[in-house]
């Protein structure tokens, strides 16, 4: 499998709801620009239409806007609620967006997260998963075949439908299915050979099924003659990092209460069964879930190592679930710390520099002495070793030393 990738899953969450929506959306753009400048690989944006918290109603439109203000980062819909749309128009807009972004777009699919969204178009939550299965069949036909398709459902009718525009990417942009805890998302991914975004499987309720998610993908892929690639498996988790654990805990007191209250009383998030009523109780809940890190970059590295082990074979990408637990400056610092220390650890980007430090110490240790012949005195050896160790300690201490 290729080098591990990193990115952000951005619903986004803006709380409390007495904020300036224009400025809130501008801050979302600034976060993506920051990710792009640091070197994150990808960012995904949600689709929501009610609740007043998750403001992006059209992730494709948001991608078109932010793509012009970034250079390298890949941008995905996380996710398009496919049962809300005619699959022909989703495919048509995807082809256009693929050209406008010069191949940086990805398509994430899901049934829809908020019951209040579905209710406004007369769609029962019980219908959504079956509708997603049918609509994905139609969508993938449109993406992969030149043959026209005709179909009629209770939500739309297609007559000899086909795309007029070829894709910029060959054969088409990557498509991924969202999964919470149940196997429905992995089954869909396996059926069509799609990628997978595991959103809830890192929670304590879902950790036991993390490896099961990919087992289901592989099993279904074999049934339908498709290829399953772990490099296209993305795992989402909650973190807030700071220069010290004490600072991280202080930071999240800014907004974790509003986040948890939203999950408890508005959002349908069975994978996040929040408990508590006070800030301290919410922090205790977050740390008890098994998926949340509030601490330092060393804590983040350890946590991702554990997830890789639990996945029983690894995954291709880790996505930070974007939230506003901390003030905006501290939130940006969180992304900087993760990008500066966690990402290079897993990409192996610092190996040669670390090897050079060790080589320098060996060279200094073995350098002939001008005063004591061709060997170091024991006293000079001890001093050289102490200087080397102090240098290493400075290199691996608080991130604030290098920023």
Percentage of the chain lying above the pLDDT 70 cut = 84
Mean pLDDT calculated for residue range 354-363: 60
pLDDT value at residue 403: 44
Domain identity same for 149 and 238: yes
Q: What is the pLDDT of residues 251-262, one digit of tens each?
A: 999 999 999 999
DSSP label at 20?
-
pLDDT value at residue 372: 42
pLDDT value at residue 368: 53
Domain identity same for 181 and 310: yes
Domain identity same for 249 and 114: yes
Domain identity same for 272 and 309: yes
pLDDT value at residue 207: 55
pLDDT value at residue 363: 64
| Cβ 266 vs Cβ 53: under 8 Å | yes
Mean pLDDT calculated for residue range 4-17: 94
Mean pLDDT check: name the lowest of 82-91, 144-153, 306-315, 370-379: 370-379
Give 350's pLDDT tier (boundaries 50, 70, 90): confident
Domain identity same for 322 and 359: no
Residue 65's closest CA among 25, 34, 9, 21?
A: 25
Domain identity same for 306 and 266: yes
Boundary residue ending a domain (331, 347, 363): 347
Give CA–CA dist 147/168, Å, rounded.
Answer: 19
Domain identity same for 195 and 163: yes
pLDDT score of 80 more than 70 = yes
Mean pLDDT calculated for residue range 121-128: 92
Inter-CA distances, 124 with 34, 54, 119, 131, 308, Å: 39, 21, 7, 10, 37
Q: What is the pLDDT of residues 97-117, one digit of tens each?
A: 999 999 999 999 999 989 999
Which range marks the domain in which residue 389 is found?
Answer: 351-401
Domain identity same for 313 and 384: no
pLDDT score of 397 more than 80 = no
Domain identity same for 333 and 360: no
Domain identity same for 357 and 337: no
Mean pLDDT calculated for residue range 117-131: 94
Give CA–CA dist 205/73, Å, rounded.
Answer: 32
Residue 237's closest CA among 267, 201, 275, 284?
A: 201
Domain with residue 174: its CATH number is 3.20.20.30
Boundary residue ending a domain (306, 322, 347): 347
pLDDT score of 304 more than 50 = yes
DSSP label at 106?
E
Q: Please classify residue 73 by burial: count the beta carbons closer than 10 Å to its beta carbon, then call 0-12 exposed, 13-18 middle and 19+ buried.
A: buried
pLDDT score of 65 more than 50 = yes
Bridge partners (DSSP) of residue 75 are 43, 105
Domain identity same for 325 and 364: no
pLDDT value at residue 84: 98
Structural domains counted in the chain: 2
Domain identity same for 207 and 234: yes
Mean pLDDT check: name the lowest of 95-104, 130-139, 143-152, 200-209: 200-209
Give 277's pLDDT tier (boundaries 50, 70, 90): very high
Q: How remote is the C-alpha of 197 from its chain's centroid? A: 8
pTM metric for this prediction = 0.87
- Contacts by 69-73 with C-beta closer than 8 Å and gap 24+? 69/29, 69/32, 69/33, 70/32, 70/33, 70/36, 71/36, 72/36, 72/39, 73/7, 73/32, 73/35, 73/36, 73/40, 73/41, 73/42, 73/43, 73/104
Give 399's pLDDT tier (boundaries 50, 70, 90): low
What are 246's two structure tokens? 């004490």
Mean pLDDT check: name the lowest of 56-60, 210-214, 235-239, 267-271: 267-271
B/e letters for 211-233, b = 16+ CB within 10 Å, e = fewer, are eebbbbbbebbeeeebebbbebb
pLDDT score of 183 more than 70 = yes
Mean pLDDT check: name the lowest of 62-71, 145-154, 303-312: 303-312
């Amino acid at each position: 499998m290729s080098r591990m990738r990193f990115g952000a899953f951005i619903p986004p969450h803006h709380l409390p709801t007495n904020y300036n929506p224009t400025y809130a959306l501008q801050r979302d753009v600034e976060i993506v620009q920051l990710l792009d400048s640091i070197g994150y690989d990808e960012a995904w944006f949600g689709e929501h239409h009610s609740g007043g918290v998750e403001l992006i109603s059209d992730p494709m439109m948001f991608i078109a806007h932010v793509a012009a203000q970034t250079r390298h980062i890949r941008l995905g819909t996380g996710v398009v609620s496919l049962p809300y749309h005619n699959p022909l128009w989703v495919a048509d807009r995807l082809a256009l967006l693929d050209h406008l972004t010069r191949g940086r777009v990805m398509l994430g699919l899901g049934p829809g997260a908020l019951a209040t969204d579905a209710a406004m178009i007369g769609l029962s939550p019980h219908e959504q998963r079956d509708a997603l299965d049918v609509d994905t069949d139609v969508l993938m036909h449109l993406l992969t075949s030149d043959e026209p398709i005709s179909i009629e459902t209770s939500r739309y009718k297609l007559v000899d439908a086909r795309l007029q525009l070829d894709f910029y990417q060959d054969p088409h942009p990557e498509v991924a299915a969202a999964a919470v805890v149940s196997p429905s998302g992995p089954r869909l991914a396996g059926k069509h050979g799609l990628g997978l975004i595991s959103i809830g499987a890192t929670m304590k309720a879902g950790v036991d099924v993390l490896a099961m998610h990919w087992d289901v993908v592989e099993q279904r892929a074999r049934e339908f003659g498709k290829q399953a690639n772990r490099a296209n498996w993305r795992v989402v988790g909650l973190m807030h990092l700071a220069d010290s654990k004490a600072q991280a805990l202080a930071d999240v007191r800014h907004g974790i209460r509003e986040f948890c209250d939203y999950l408890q009383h508005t959002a349908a998030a069975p994978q996040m069964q929040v408990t508590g009523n006070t800030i301290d109780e919410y922090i205790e809940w977050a740390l008890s879930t098994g998926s949340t890190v509030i601490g330092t970059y060393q804590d983040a590295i350890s946590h991702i190592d554990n997830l890789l082990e639990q996945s029983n074979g690894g995954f291709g990408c880790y996505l930070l679930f974007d939230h506003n637990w901390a003030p905006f400056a501290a939130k940006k610092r969180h992304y900087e710390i993760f990008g500066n220390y966690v990402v290079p650890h897993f990409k192996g980007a610092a190996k040669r520099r670390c090897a050079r430090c060790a080589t320098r110490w060996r060279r200094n240790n073995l350098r002939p002495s001008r005063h004591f012949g061709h060997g170091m005195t024991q006293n000079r050896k001890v001093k050289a070793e102490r200087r080397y160790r102090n240098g290493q300690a400075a290199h691996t201490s608080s991130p604030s030393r290098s920023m």
